[in-house]
Amino acid sequence: MEGPARVGGTIGAATGETGCDAHWAGWTSVSWGSTILPMNAVLVFPRFIGRAVLGGFTQLGRFSLLTFEIIRGLREWRIWLPRTITEMASVGMGSLFIVILIASFTGAVTAFQAGYQWQTSLPLYVLGTLIVSNIVLELGPVLVGLVLAGRIGARYAAELGTMRVTEQIDALDSLGRSPASHLIIPRVITGFVMLPVLTILADLVAILVGWYSVKQVLPITDADFIYGAQYYYRPFDGYYSIIKAFFFGGAITLISCYTGFNTKQGAEGVGRAVTAAVVASMVIILVLNATLARVLLN
């Protein structure tokens, strides 16, 4: 009690405050050595930590409720199944060009870099192993996931966010319809199914382009490339690529649908939701990539 009183007296003398004013000033200030800090400045960091923790638990609770609604809505398969087929066709055909383009450049760059760094006495067939392994284990699923996080992730967040701010989702609730079975389940299942399919396509295209490109920079024959690709290839490598794509697809669609479904504050909120969905999806993809590599390739 003595320290705050002296601080209050000092402030009161310096500012012309007396009596109750000086006593109140002492209780709202803290002395740190020879420096007098307002109580609000001292509480800035604890308040920031508290808001961050409470915000994190709030988001976790909302995401858990949305997941529960998705699971509960799976029994209404007559509603979400036709919409899922339509959504799969839309995502597959719409993403086909960009996936083939990314896979082609990925295979070509991988082959050119392998040719540039090839300064060893190892046999040339090892190039087939390097190109196929890099594409199947890492480049194919990760690049496809990052590209589709920007394409379908932004689209889903914008669609659901617009429906939320224009009260279309509230209209579904008022009619007794489940927004999960009508809007979210078709998009989530599409991500789980179509991303592995597009990843398989991307792996095949990238390997074929890499095969052709490496022949342009090094004197490797088709037989050598095929021998190297088969010699060190393990069947689990292909399953690993599909497993990664499966998790990436689920992460992209769940995060995007959750962000769009909880959009607020009109058009500005929709813009923030789209940005948050894309950034969060990309970060989660990188985290899942490292986690799955540690768990499945141990």
3-state SS record for 31-82: EECCEEEEHHHHCHHHHHHHHHHHHHHHHHHHHHHHHHHHHHHCCCHHHHHH
The residues spanned by each domain of the chain are: 2-42, 62-296
Element (H, E) at 98: helix 77-116
Residue 57 has pLDDT above 60, yes or no: yes
Segment 145-164 shows an average pLDDT of: 92
Cβ distance 153 to 256 under 8 Å?
Answer: yes
Structure tokens at 38: 């307002």
CA 163/CA 261 separation, integer angstroms: 8
Residue 3 has pLDDT above 50, yes or no: no
93 by Cβ neighbours in 10 Å (0-12 / 13-18 / 19+) ranks as exposed
Confidence class of residue 231 from pLDDT cuts 50, 70 and 90? confident
CA distances 215 to 18, 115, 124, 203, Å, are 89, 9, 11, 19
The residue count of the chain comes to 298
18-49: pLDDT as tens digits? 444 444 444 455 555 555 556 666 677 777 78
CA 245/CA 109 separation, integer angstroms: 22
Q: Which of 82, 52, 53, 87 is nearest to 160 (CA)?
A: 87
73-124: pLDDT as tens digits? 888 889 999 999 999 999 999 999 999 999 999 999 988 888 887 776 778 8
CA 234/CA 202 separation, integer angstroms: 19
H-assigned helices in 117-184: 126-134, 140-148, 154-165, 168-174, 179
pLDDT at residue 2, as a whole number? 45
User: Who wins on pLDDT, 221 or 9?
Assistant: 221
Cβ distance 210 to 112 under 8 Å?
Answer: no
Segment 290-296 shows an average pLDDT of: 92
Segment 142-168 shows an average pLDDT of: 92
User: Who wins on pLDDT, 288 or 62?
Assistant: 288
Segment 51-67 shows an average pLDDT of: 84
Cβ distance 144 to 194 under 8 Å?
Answer: no
Characterise 73 by phi-psi region: left (phi > 0), alpha (psi -120 to 50), beta (else): alpha
